[in-house]
Each structure stands twice: as structure tokens, then as C-alpha cells.
Structure 1
């Protein structure tokens, strides 16, 4: 990527990718298919399912993002989801609250004490193998490293992981969610700092498909602190997510029945 391209990341993203909120059954099935391909067939994190759809109990109260190729929209690239509190049982724990119950530092933040409609968890990030096949990436569903940003003389930008993260932040803002929790690789905070994004570790490491640490970020803070060269891609992502809401004629998410 040229230096000029780095300062027009919005057009660069639009040239190669498009992101959408997976509100319909058809789009959610596409998300579940990517997850099955990556989590079940390739990485064996989950058992293979006869219907080739990787789903769990959290999907019915989650929002999903789908990333596809702009050049060929039938080509799917990756996905992720935003797990919301259960509408009928807001106190039901988010996935990380189970996984990190022994390592979470509640002196930093205690999810159980926050208004449950204002918190959510980012999870099930998955990118198909042909879009992440690099040395050291064969055993992870999504990775971000220093190499993704290139060098001063040859800058690059990691459109795929950043696009997926920005999309889920856009969904969170549409839903009134401020605090986003996630299980991350220990160095993710360092990589995101390059973009102006502040991720805070909130507990000790756990073994969960590799070493992960519980972390959090504030949606408004992320948006306000984005570096100037990232803001164009943020605007494109928001535009594409908003289009999904507009197409349904509704201002907020209604869980699928």
C-alpha cells in the first residue's frame, strides 16, 4: 500500500471489502458457515456439525457482522458477533464471564454491577484461511501483528481485522452499548494502540484456544480516539452498517425468533 493510500483508507477498504449487519436468516447462515469452516473443519475448536453451521446458545441474542469481497460479493471473507445481554434474563453471564470467572479483576471493573443493556462481548471473530494464511497463523481464527502495519517506507493496513472490529463497534453504538468485553491475544492492545484504540486488560490470562486475556474497551472512547488516518474507514463502515438498519426500517436490533 502506498503512502497516499494510507491516507485514503476509506476508499481502500471500499475497493476491496464490504461489511454488513447480518440481520436476515440468509446472512446469519453465511456467518455460521464461515464459523463452521474455520472453527470446526480447519482448527477443530468445535465439533463438525452435520448442517455445517457453527452455532451456540448465545447466537439468538447476538448481532452478527459479515465481511465479503467487493470485487465478488459472493466471496465471503470473515465474520464476528456482538453478544448482548439476554432480553428475558439480563443477568445471564456473557461468555467471558464464565471463562474468566477465576481470573477477572473486579477491582478494575465488575460486569455484574453494570447496567446489562450497556455491555456486550465481541466474540467468534473468524477469517477464512485464504485471507489469513501467513506464517504463524495456521492455528488462529484471526490474527493481528506488527507486520500487518508494514514499515515507515512500505506502510500497509490490516483491513480485515480492523474492518471487523470497527463494524462491531458501529453495531454497539447503534444499540446503546458502551462497554465491550473480549478475550484477546496478550499483545492485541499494543497493536490497536497504533490506531488510537485503548484496550484495557481486566484480569489474568486463561487458556482458551491459546493464551487469552480478558479485556475491555469503551465504544465512545474508541471512536473519539481514532487516529486521523483511520477515520475514513470508520465512516465507510458506519455507512455500510447503517444501510442494514435502513433496509429493515428499524432503528434498533430485534432478536430473531
Structure 2
């Protein structure tokens, strides 16, 4: 993973143009590829919802082709005026959350944000033979072995970016996520240990509520992944300092 940033770039999507790119990736993954969302609900091929205005969005691009390789958002529990806002899991998966877990951690409503809308296009999340050309956006792309070996690290980079962001937000003490248990196992390899916070449910596939407390993050990242996390954190910190996005304004 030492050459990950030779192949990919990480940016905070804070401009309208970058956010459109994020929404386009989400439409591709959630509507076209996975069929989780109904295309008829969107006037344009852009998947967006009520939570986007009070979210911080992240985007990973493949440098050589310019293709979007992944996106994620951190939904914060306040809007730009400091008014409390619901999180996605509170509206759609409340029955899957175990409130005793949150209570046991000493957390109150507003102390935690939510990881949401992790979207990685199929070409970057599937194992494809090295010599197999891909028809993407009406052009043929070949990915080198060096590029392909970094594909599994896209998800890790997104979660490291989310973690680096919420390390900067004093008002947020923890983050929750509704994710597939197999993704949790993938993150464990890097030392990102969300703990179960609810039961397994069927919501766009098998999903379970997980929670990660801020103080547990830095101490658990595995040594092999620490340089990767530090590189991600420097990128996030630099962009936060220059952009002053929503969550820092309200923290």
C-alpha cells in the first residue's frame, strides 16, 4: 500500500462540481450496479438524499484514467445552524440499533456521527484478471498489476479519511455504521475495530449496526497501516484547513 497514492488521489468533495461527481458514483453503484435505489426517484443520474447537506463527502480518483474509484460520507448530527438532524440509521434502521450499547459508552444523541453511502464501482471492487481489458465510459482501460494490488485498499482509505475527519471534530465522540459483517472483517486487518451495536438485518443485503469510539481508533491501527493512515490524515487535515467544511463550523 506504500504506492497507493501513486495510483489514486483522495479529495474532500466540498464544491458543487465535486459533489456531483460523488452523487454520480453513488447512482452508478446503488442504482445501476446493485439496484438498491429506484432510478425513477431521480431526475438526473445523481443519487442524493436529505442527509447530504449536513455531510462531509470524500472522493477517491484513479489518477491515470481520472475515473472515480470510491466515495463515502460522514453524516453529522447537526445542520449548518447547529440544529439537531436525524442520522440515516435512526430513520431507516432504528429497530436494528441496540440503544444499550450507546448508553453503555456514555454517549448522548448528537455525540456520534454516521458513516454512510460507501460506494466503490464494480471495476475497483472485483477481482479481474490482469490481462482483462475493461470497457469503461466508452473507452477500454487496462490496469497494471501495481494498480490492481491497491484496489482492496480503496475501502480502507475511505474509512481512514472518515476517521481522520472525525478526529478533528470535538463535538463528535463516536461514529456508527450499518455495514456488511464481511466489510468489518476487512477493516479489522488494518486495525479499525467497530464493535457490534445491534442485530443483523436485511437492508440492501445483510447489514449490522457497528460503532467505533474515537479514543479507540489511533491505539488500534496496526503498525503496517500507520504510515498509510498518517498520509491520509495529512491530506484530510490540509483540505479541512483550506476549505473549513460544514462539520468543523458547527463543532
TM-score range, shorter chain: 0.7 to 0.9
Question: In proportion to residue count, which structure has more strand?
Answer: 2
How far off its partner does 1:56 sit? 0.4
Pair 1:19-2:7 in alignment: no
What is the rounded CA distance, in whole Å, between the counterparts of 2:245 and 2:17 in structure 1?
19
CA contact (8 A) 1:23 1:244 kept: no
**CA contact under 8 A between 1:245 and 1:251: conserved in structure 2?**
no
Moved more, 125-134 or 77-86: 125-134
Relative to its length, the structure with more helix (as a share) is 2
CA separation of 1:78 and 1:192: change in aligned 2, threshold 3 A:
closer
- Structure 1, unmatched stretches of 5+, are 1-8, 136-154
Please give the per-residue CA displacement for 1:41-92, whole angstroms capped at 9, x wherever unaligned. 22221122232111000001000000011334x3211101000113357544
Deviation at 1:232, TM superposition (A): 0.8
Q: Does 1:54 align with 2:55?
A: no
TM-score (norm. length: structure 1): 0.78
Match of 1:93, SS state, is: coil
1:77 aligns with 2:74: no
CA distance in 2, matches of 1:25, 1:94: 22
Runs of 4+ in structure 1 over 4 Å off:
88-91, 249-252
1:162 to 156, 159, 181: 156
CA RMSD of aligned residues (A): 2.6
Distance 1:116 1:234 in 2: 28
Q: Distance in 2 between matches of 1:108 and 1:249?
A: 32
1:68 aligns with 2:61: yes
C-alpha deviation, 1:164, in angstroms: 0.7
CA 103–45 in structure 1, closer or farther in 2 if over 3 Å, else same: closer
Work out whether residues 14 and 245 of structure 2, in 8 Å CA contact, stay in contact via their aligned partners in 1: no
Cα distance change, pair 110–186 in 1 and its aligned pair in 2 (3 A): same
How many residues align? The count is 225
Shift of 1:110: 4.1
Could you say which residue in structure 2 is the equivalent of 1:212?
A: 207
* CA deviation after TM superposition for structure 1 residue 220, in Å: 3.2
Q: TM-score, normalised by structure 2?
A: 0.80
